[in-house]
Amino acid sequence: MEYRKNDTATAEIIDIGQDGAGIGRTEDGYTLFVKDTVPGDRAEVRIIKVKKSYGYGRLERVLKASPDRTEPPCPVSRQCGGCQLQMMSYPAQLAMKEEKVRNDLKRIGGFENLEIRKIVPMESPFRYRNKAQFPVGTDRDGNPIAGFYAGRTHTIIPNPDCLLGCPENREILEEILGWMRDNRIPAYSEETGKGLVRHVLIRKGFATGEIIVCLIINGGRIPASDDLIHRLEKIPGMTGITFSSNTRRTNVIMNGPVKPVWGQEYITDILKSAAFGVSVRYQISPASFYQINPVQTQRIYEKVLELACLHGNETVMDLYCGIGTISLFLARKARKVIGVEIVPRAIEDARKNAQINGIENAEFYVGKAEEVVPGLEKEGIRADVAVVDPPRKGCDEKLLQTLVRMKPERIVYVSCDPATLARDLKYLSGNGFHAEYVQPYDQFSETVHVETVALLMRTN
Ligand code: SAH
C-alpha cells in the first residue's frame, strides 16, 4: 500500500533507533519511525512524512502496550525535546543501552568475544542533573514564563520543574518570575530582540549543597537587584547570584563574562573515591564545563583509577581532559599527569583546581590532543598510562597512531558514543593493544546516551 501524509496506520514497534524513536512495521511491511513508542507496542500512528522505503509517524494511540512501557512521570515529556525514553521502564532502558554497546562493538569493531560487563545503573533515574538552563519568555497574557523549548522549536513550554533536575529549581524560578512580575521586568523576545531576561542557569554542587544562579540578560545590569537578592538568598544552599550580558540576536546562550550580584561567583563540588582514598575539590563557575551527573561521574572516575593501576611512579596522560577532573584524580596516585584539552578556559579551570587541591604534579596543555601529543613524543616524553575521554566523534587517528608508537602499558578509554569507541578499539586492537573488557554506565537515564569505560593492555 502507498502511504500518504496524514494517513493513519497500525504499526508493531520492533526496535528503537539512534535518537530513541521506536521503529515500527505496518502490516504490509512499511517501516515507520515513531517517537514516544516502545519496542513491543502496537500503535495507531498518524503518518507525518513519507520517504521511499520508510516514513515518520506520530503516536496517536497505544493499541497494545509493550511490557516495557511505563507512564512518563513528567507531564510535558512528549512536548519537551529533553527526554526520549520516559515511556520506557528503567530496566528496559538499561537493557537497551547495554545491547547498543554490544551491537556496536560487534558490528563496527568486529569484537565477538570481548567481555561486556553489566551496565552500572543509577539508584534513581530522575533528579540526577546538577545543571539546568531554562529559557524565559512571555505567555499570551503577558506573564513571564520559564520552561523548555518544545522539541526542535523555540516555543517555550512553561515547566519550572524538570524531573531530571534538582527540586530547588522550581522555587528559584518561581522567585525569579515573581521578581520580574512585581518589578515589570520583561522577558526577552527572540522575535523582536527586545526585553531583558533570556535564560536562567542554575548549578548545584551535589556534595556541598551549594547553588549558584546566573541570569542571562539582554542588557548591562540587573534592575531591582535588592528584591531579587531578597527573594533568592533565603533558599537553602544559595551561594551566589550572578549575571551575564548577552545583547546579540543569537542562539548562543552565554557569550560574555559572568558578573556578581550577590555572594560568590562560583560553587564548589567534591568528587571522591573511598576505595582509593582520593578526594578532589572543584571550583565551578556558571560558565565552566562540568560533568552533569556527579554521582555516576564519581563511579566512572573511580573505575578509571582502578584500571590505570597506578603505583606512584607513572607518567599518565589525560587526553581531552576538560577542566582536569580526571587528571586531578589520577595525580594523587601517579608521579606525573599531563592533561591536554582544546578549550583554553577549561585549562585555566584545571590549573586553578590543581592549585586549590595543592596538586603540583599535574601539567596542562591547551591544544588538539592529536597535535600536542606528537609534540610531546618528539621531546622524548612518553606515557605509561593514557586516559582518553573524547567527544562523540572519538579519537583522531593521528592521536591513535601516536599512542601506538608511544606504547603505554595501558589505555583507559572513556567514551560517550559506543560506535566511535568500537571503531577506535578496533584500530588499537590491530596495532599492539588488546581490549580486555568494557564497562557501560548509565549516566543519562531517560535519554538515549550511554557512557562506556574500556581497558586496553599493550601486547608486545
Ligand atoms: N575528561 C573531561 C572532559 C571530557 S569531554 C571530564 O571528564 O570532565 C571531551 C573534551 O574534549 C571536551 O572538554 C572538549 O573540549 C575536548 N576536545 C574536543 N576535541 C579535542 C581535541 N581534538 N583535542 C583535545 N581536546 C578536545
Per-residue pLDDT of the chain (460 residues; tens, 9 = 90+): 789 999 999 999 999 998 999 999 999 999 999 999 999 999 999 999 999 899 999 999 999 999 999 999 999 998 887 899 999 999 999 999 999 999 999 999 999 999 999 999 999 999 999 999 999 999 999 999 999 988 778 889 899 899 999 999 999 999 999 999 999 999 999 999 999 999 999 999 999 999 999 999 999 999 999 999 999 999 999 999 999 999 999 989 998 999 999 999 999 999 999 999 999 999 999 988 899 999 999 999 999 999 999 999 999 999 999 999 999 999 999 999 999 999 998 999 999 999 999 999 999 999 999 999 999 999 999 999 999 999 999 999 999 999 999 999 999 999 999 999 999 999 999 999 999 999 999 999 999 999 999 999 999 7
From the alpha carbon of 416, which atom of ligand 1 is closest? 5
Closest alpha carbon to 56 in 3, 96, 18: 3
> Phi/psi at 150 (nearest 5 deg)?
-60, 145
Question: Active-site positions?
Answer: 416
CA of 339 to the centre of ligand 1 (A): 10
From the alpha carbon of 390, which atom of ligand 1 is closest? 9
CA of 319 to the centre of ligand 1 (A): 7
| CATH number of this structure's domain 8-64, picked from the four choices 3.30.70.360, 2.40.50.140, 1.10.3720.10, 2.60.40.1080 | 2.40.50.140
CA of 273 to the centre of ligand 1 (A): 22
Q: How high is the pLDDT of residue 444?
A: 97
Q: How high is the pLDDT of residue 154?
A: 84
Closest alpha carbon to 385 in 291, 303, 318: 318
Q: How high is the pLDDT of residue 150?
A: 85
- Return the amino acid letter for 307: L
| CATH number of this structure's domain 131-269, picked from the four choices 2.40.128.20, 1.10.1660.10, 3.30.450.20, 2.40.50.1070 | 2.40.50.1070
Where would I find the beta strands (DSSP E) of 228-331?
238-245, 258-263, 267-273, 278-284, 315-319
Classify residue 367 as left (phi > 0), alpha (psi -120 to 50) or beta.
left
Closest alpha carbon to 414 in 346, 345, 329: 329
Which residue in the block uniquely carries the three cell numbers 534538582? 166
Q: Is the CB of 366 under 6 A from ligand 1?
A: no
Closest alpha carbon to 315 in 380, 382, 371: 382
From the alpha carbon of 369, which atom of ligand 1 is closest? 23
From the alpha carbon of 368, which atom of ligand 1 is closest? 23
Structural domain boundaries in the chain: 8-64, 106-122+293-458, 131-269
Q: How high is the pLDDT of residue 160?
A: 84
Q: Is the CB of 320 under 6 A from ligand 1?
A: yes
Q: Give DSSP secondary structure letters for 277-297.
A: TEEEEEEE-TTS---S-HHHH
Cα–Cα distance, 305 to 273 (Å, whole number): 9
Centroid of chain to Cα 12: 32
Per-residue cell: 262? 550577590
Q: Is the CB of 322 under 6 A from ligand 1?
A: yes
How would you classify the pairing of strands 451-458 and 433-441? antiparallel
Question: In terms of pTM, does the model score above 0.85?
Answer: yes
The 3-state secondary structure of 387-447 reads EECCCCCCCCHHHHHHHHHHCCCEEEEEECCHHHHHHHHHHHHCCCEEEEEEEEECCCCCC
Q: How high is the pLDDT of residue 61?
A: 97
Asked if 106-122+293-458 and 131-269 have one fold, the answer is no
Cα–Cα distance, 421 to 219 (Å, whole number): 44
CA of 368 to the centre of ligand 1 (A): 9
Cα–Cα distance, 251 to 243 (Å, whole number): 17
Coil, strand or helix: which one is 198? strand
Per-residue cell: 141? 497574557
106-122+293-458 belongs to which homologous superfamily? Answer: Vaccinia Virus protein VP39 (3.40.50.150)
Q: Best of 291, 327, 341 to mutate for ligand 1, by most ligand atoms within 8 A of CB?
A: 341
